[in-house]
Structure 1
């Protein structure tokens, strides 16, 4: 019902069915239609440009001084975020405006990266096709990760657009919409949000999703409830030493200067139920050692294939090469960290499963990008390299399907859970006032 008591028919503006993610063009068109249909409550504006000159579009709903900022598409291989940003706008416009509250939905933080993944969205959403079109930038090219002080590296224009929005809006809540390819759902918070964990768990159960109770993204972090993690403070030493990201130096922590909290909301494309098992694995250290050995061996094999990639001009080619180089550099450090920190003591089923998933996923990502880089290279050496990369892809996909039982989560369930999580986080914080 509207404020006048008149029932509003559901607003569904995406050009896709419930089984699909929108392309960037479809999401932008849907946002424009919402702004045209409901100019009383909705407006669309450009808040910046990407490195390649693509617009960063912000869809705002209502005009209250207390702001929620929602960031879609921070990782380009996770299309659920852009889809959920549009779906959230539709849901909000079907409800009465809440006095004093405004919502600001950044459709896609990394449109350049999204363009390099777009091929998957135009065909069947299979696991194999996803990796045929896979791209995820190296850490230094992910706009939510800000350069460390003294690094000499300038912030990306996308990063500056986002921090500028935070400075302008001073949101009490920022929600970063992420998706994991294999695993479960979880939420990472920069501060406590009373009541969120229980409602998040109920939403996950409603969507048929396991809670990731020992997430690799949050190893060593405080976990006040299953599937909920609190980000470490600067200098706490709780972050993974294998990965160069520092959550406390990211755009996630930026709203804290205004008293705001960030919720990073993760939802899987392919669910793996074992990540929800906190019980002790009967052979946990052995499983982790096997995963570490497999990851190390595959990394060495794929490193040899990178030498077969010829140098080419073009930013897309360079971005693909840099992501391969980054993953080949970080994978051995990940394996070493597992052996050093995970194996001496008991290992949960969730953690052992995570190690196996990462040991299959990282080589799958690298081999898939190498196939893209080698696609136009001719000659026996290039064909031999492609065959080796295809073998890695096939073996990794087989492991993920059959050893880990990865099952597709319907897009509508991914969207419903992520949308509920955003609304719930805002509701929990507003109820504290």
Structure 2
């Protein structure tokens, strides 16, 4: 039970608000908090690191690795507030919190069309943005030495500097439930996740589609397999690629990827045996094939008009990614189709089937939302496509609400859930890892904080 009260967040903070709020925290706690830049984005936006505490062992929290998942920035601020209000857990772990407020600020800015609300599915998907896979800074498709993005290089340098005993990557799930992915087991975490989820009314996602073939460490907790060489589709759908999650592993780091849902669906927590799994799989796979073909055709109709869209390539990159993976996923999920991998589906619960249905619809909705943005800027020649996309987005969002029972989770509750799970993982990692993780901030002390404009 927390021994202090924090004001609830009613909406997600923007990139600029994250920096402003962090600076305000440092101004109020100059002896215990410090703010510095650790790099800049491709557009020149500072990458801000907020550090709290005086411990010799380092914990690293990475917020905003995916541009459309703003809960992480709010959670990072909440973790800092908690560490300042109740330093006991960090003191007991001899730890300093290092909170990277937003790893992809450029992509995050592109989501500010929906960030302040209204929080409806239609508004979210019509303004959704996540860059193409190769522009997402957590991934290392060419290995650490070949990291091309300045955001990625900044994170790698920070990991090498801090050598953290614990790293937490803060992610969001647009529709579904909460779950955790670990590079190494943290015994006791599934129970802590269950208690937190039950207390806050957050559904746990027991069978996320991207962990379908991963080892389970307990309900809603999965172990990330070691990186392996695979094609782009597997990298996108299964994280089958080198990543910043594993880069600090030689330092003894355990990484926890904490996923918090925006719209919750109760069915993703239903571990009962389905009456006819094959029938559900046929429907899900056939629907995904149909929707992706329709969207391919819509893209073809849009292409002649895209010369008017100044940043069409940035929107087309994720569209191409989604349309690339849809056929393979449909084949993998279809009980009547051999997808050529020789890898059968594992036993599926009702929760797994709900997650696959949500995932198929998510891929279609994200693609439709990105195409909608292209069509909006493409001029009168794209008006018919725009009307059709509006109809599809409304129809598919209604399926989420009515067919899946998706319900909005207030921002404050998302943040509370994610921060509690992150803190639980931090505490468990602190108990299991006592190796000499060193402070990465030379000259750390009780002096006054460096003002933001002087960094």
TM-score, length basis structure 2: 0.87
2:350 pairs with 1:349: yes
SS in 2 for 1:274: helix
Residue 176 of structure 1, aligned match among 169, 172, 177: 169
Show structure 1 runs of 5+ residues with no match.
1-7
1-side partners of 2:34 and 2:109: how far apart?
A: 25
- Using the TM superposition, give the Cα deviation of residue 306 of structure 1 relative to its aligned residue in structure 2, in angstroms: 1.4
> Within 1, Cα distance between the matches of 2:314 and 2:406?
29
Superposed CA deviations along residues 143-162 of structure 1, whole A, max 9, x for unmatched, are: 10112359x96431111111
Judge conservation of contact 1:11–1:94 (CA < 8 Å) in 2.
Answer: no
**Matched length:** 419
Q: Contact 1:219 / 1:240 at 8 angstroms: preserved in 2? A: no
Aligned equivalent of 1:259, options 245, 252, 258 = 252
Alpha-carbon offset, residue 26 of structure 1: 1.3
- The reply on whether 1:26 has 2:17 as its aligned counterpart is yes
Which residue is 2:179 aligned to?
Answer: 186
Distance 1:244 1:126, change over 3 A: closer
Change beyond 3 A, Cα 1:343–1:177: same
* Contact 2:53/2:87 (8 A) holds in 1: no
Who is 2:203 aligned against? 210
The 3-state SS of whatever aligns with 1:263 is: strand
* Distance change in 2, residues 1:362/1:234 (3 Å): closer
Question: Relative to 1, partners in 2 of residues 1:269 and 1:344: Cα closer, same or farther, differing over 3 Å?
Answer: closer
Task: Indicate yes or no: 2:263 matched with 1:275.
Answer: no
Is the 1:139–1:245 Cα contact (8 Å) retained in structure 2? Answer: no
Q: Which residue of 2 aligns with 1:5?
A: none
SS class of match (2:306): coil
1:273-321, Cα deviation, whole Å (9 max, x unpaired): 1111122211211111111111111111111121214334887432111
Cα deviations by residue, 1:199-224 (Å, 9 ceiling, x for unpaired): 11101111111211111121111112
Deviation for aligned residue 1:197? 1.5
CA distance in 2, matches of 1:315, 1:104: 37
Match of 1:395 in 2: 395
Matches within 5 A, 1:240-319: 241=234, 243=236, 246=239, 249-307=242-300, 308-309=302-303, 310-312=305-307, 316-319=311-314
Say whether residues 1:361 and 2:355 are aligned partners: no
| 2:121 pairs with 1:127 | yes
Shift of 1:345: 7.3
TM-score, length basis structure 1? 0.91
Shift in Å, 1:416: 0.7
Aligned-residue Cα RMSD (Å) equals: 2.4
1:245 Cα offset (Å): 5.4
Give 1:50's aligned residue. Answer: 41
Are residues 243 and 24 of structure 1, via their aligned partners in 2, closer, same or farther at CA, if it must alter by over 3 Å?
A: closer
Q: Are residues 1:329 and 2:329 paired?
A: no
Corresponding residue number in structure 1 for 2:131: 137
Name which of 80, 104, 112 aligns with 2:106: 112
User: How far did 1:242 drift?
Assistant: 7.6
Cα deviation code 1:69-106 (max 9, x no counterpart): 00011111111001101111111110136443100000
Q: Distance in 2 between matches of 1:46 and 1:374?
A: 37
From the superposition, tell whether residues 345 and 35 of structure 1 become closer, same or farther in structure 2 (CA, over 3 Å).
closer
Aligned residue in 2 for 1:157: 150
Say whether 1:38 aligns with 2:29: yes
How far does residue 236 in structure 1 lie from its aligned partner after superposition?
Answer: 9.8
Residue 66, structure 1, aligned to residue 60, structure 2 = no
Q: 1:4 corresponds to which residue?
A: none
Q: Distance in 2 between matches of 1:377 and 1:236?
A: 38
8 A contact 1:42–1:62 mirrored in 2: yes
